[in-house]
Structure 1
């Protein structure tokens, strides 16, 4: 796959994440054998459960890719996200997250999350 294709796959995945009607497709671009680094999840099923918890807490969550770079089979993304907490009604935001992805045959097979990102998300989700 080309770097442009991998970047487009990531952007499509994020578009699903942002659309409550297609959120269940968000992780379709991930391999069943996904390896996670720095995440509060071990494998695809735990990652899926994590996102369902996040979407329940912040139903209008929107992720914005602020910048992305691609080289070879890897894509790095700097992003922000915002939404409204379902319990408190407060606007919540993560100003800067960093995630690195490795693709194989059109699927994300490995993902690195910047240290502290999971804790920051957990703090926002849990009022």
Structure 2
């Protein structure tokens, strides 16, 4: 498989993962493409279990949350994704959104092994989830 094919495969894995994230009936599958030994950087979570707990909190606060990949750029085993998201906050009934988030992923053996969240993105999400 060429490097371009591998890069395309990684982007496709992320797109499919976001589809699961956006579907309340499939959210339990969202993190299936992540390594058990996931390394997180810039997030308020340490490892896969804490990341899963974080998303459970987010989905409870914003049950109709929808993430849109605005742009994905791949280079070798890494993919950078710029995204936005929107939904309705369950506690307030207000529409909430994040206009621009950025996360960088590194793949290993077809799984997401490492993930960096851009500075400020995690805080912005936390501020929206916990108004």
- TM-score normalised per structure 2: 0.95
The corresponding residue for 1:99 is 103
Q: Which runs of 5+ in 1 are unaligned?
A: none
Q: Which runs of 5+ in 2 are unaligned?
A: none
1:110 counterpart (106, 111, 114): 114
Distance 1:117 1:97 in 2: 6
The corresponding residue for 1:11 is 15
Q: Alpha carbon RMSD of aligned pairs, Å?
A: 0.8
Question: Matched residue of 1:40: which SS?
Answer: coil
The corresponding residue for 1:124 is 128
The corresponding residue for 1:49 is 53
List 4+ stretches of structure 1 deviating above 4 A.
Answer: none
Deviation at 1:16, TM superposition (A): 0.3
Deviation per CA, 1:3-59, whole angstroms, max 9, x where unpaired?
011000000000000000000100000000000000000000000000000000000
Deviation at 1:61, TM superposition (A): 0.1
The corresponding residue for 1:33 is 37
Deviation at 1:71, TM superposition (A): 1.1
The alignment status of 1:90 with 2:98, answered yes or no, reads: no
- TM-score normalised per structure 1: 0.98
